[in-house]
Amino acid sequence: MPDDSAIQAALARAVTIAARGPEHGPNPRVGCVIIAEDGTTLGEGWHRGAGTPHAEVAAIADARSAGRDVRGATAVVTLEPCAHTGRTGPCVDALTQAGVAQVRYAVPDPGDASSGGAAVLNERGIPAVHVPDAGASALTRRWVTAMRLRRPYVIAKWASTLDGRMAAADGTSVWITGDEARDHAHHVRAGVDAIAVGTGTVRADDPRLSARPGGEESAHQPLRAVIGQSETTGAQVWRDANAIALRTRDPHEALAILHAREVRTLVVEGGPTVLSALVREGLVDEVNAYIAPALLGAGPSAIEDLGIGTMSSALRGQDVNFQPLGADILVTAHFSRG
């Protein structure tokens, strides 16, 4: 059996190649490295998106195409091998048929149908052991949250001034931050499944809600979702069919509809009514606040009254990150409840 350092090295490699897969889409990013007793790599593969072979199947095929035998080998995977037939067949069967002797996986599969792969393998006499790994967890964090909570992972995004205003008193809100912050936000859009705004934002700003990282429309365009009951006919968000009207006041219901459409990650870009409703209901997993060194002194803030009256009740983020973007700064904080 390969030693622990060989397993760790294979896992690090599996994380690296998993990251080549798409950030968006219904499936997680997964990598698999199959190693021999002495730790040498026999085959490796990663999942390229829903409908394509899973990482384990890709790794077995890679070994075969190089003429390498994986019988008796160790498969190291970033995610627990699946036990179900979804768009493709069960990885536990592919591993069994290939004659792999044992499996190490970093993240348990939280899916209703797909989970239980490790138990199946163990029953078949192929030890499948959980080896936690920070890199693999980071790669699947949003997807795991979405699967566990049966709703999209929600990123609340806004741009504000130093004094916390997201618009001026006259309602103007474009160009709060500079180019770098805006471009960063477009990169975030290009990696998610959907972007939501309230009807108020559509009426006030008529946003396109497209992903334009580097100024160019990316190949993947997230679904545009408009939450609320006011009329928005003729707005730019309805320019093609990649848009949905969520005619409800209930944020849980809005997220349930998106979950049914396999939206795993959602960016909510305003306005205060929609953002506040989501925060109030504990439905925000991550805040991306772009803060510009400007002062307005008047105008709405991103989040309205939450019914919090005292400092000890403030909602406090975890795993906080700061990123300078030109003259602006991006603060990322997580509010996941697990």
Q: Kindly list the catalytic residues.
A: 56
Residues 6+ apart with CB under 8 A from 183: 213, 214, 215
329 in Cβ contact with 321 (< 8 Å): no
Residues 6+ apart with CB under 8 A from 203: 230, 232, 235
How far apart CA 119 and CA 99 sit, in angstroms, is 17
Q: How far is the CB of 111 from ligand AOF (least distance, A)?
A: 4
Question: Would the annotation count 51 as a binding residue?
Answer: no
Question: Would the annotation count 11 as a binding residue?
Answer: no
Question: Would the annotation count 173 as a binding residue?
Answer: yes
How far apart CA 238 and CA 110 sit, in angstroms, is 35
Burial class (CB in 10 A: 0-12, 13-18, 19+), 238: middle
56 contacts ligand AOF (rule: CB under 6 A) = yes
Selected binder of ligand AOF within 1, 40, 87, 179 (CB under 6 A): 87
Residue 306 main-chain phi, psi, to 5 deg? -105, 5
Closer residue to ligand AOF, CB minimum distance, 28 or 300: 28
Closer residue to ligand AOF, CB minimum distance, 133 or 269: 133
Give the pair of three-digit tokens for residue 4. 């622990």
Closer residue to ligand AOF, CB minimum distance, 47 or 157: 47
Selected binder of ligand AOF within 1, 20, 40, 50 (CB under 6 A): 50
Give the one entry of Zn ion, ligand AOF, none that residue 55 binds, where binding means its C-beta sits below a cut-off of 5 to 8 angstroms depending on kind: ligand AOF
Q: How far is the CB of 135 from Zn ion (least distance, A)?
A: 20
114 contacts ligand AOF (rule: CB under 6 A) = yes
Residues 19-48 binding ligand AOF (CB under 6 A) are 27-28, 30, 47
256 in Cβ contact with 227 (< 8 Å): no
* Closest C-alpha to 135, from 50, 77, 69, 193: 77
Binding-site residue total for ligand AOF (CB under 6 A)? 18
Question: Would the annotation count 32 as a binding residue?
Answer: no
Selected binder of ligand AOF within 111, 222, 228, 272 (CB under 6 A): 111
Q: Which residues bind ligand AOF (CB under 6 A)?
A: 27-28, 30, 47, 50, 54-56, 79, 81-82, 86-88, 91, 109, 111, 114
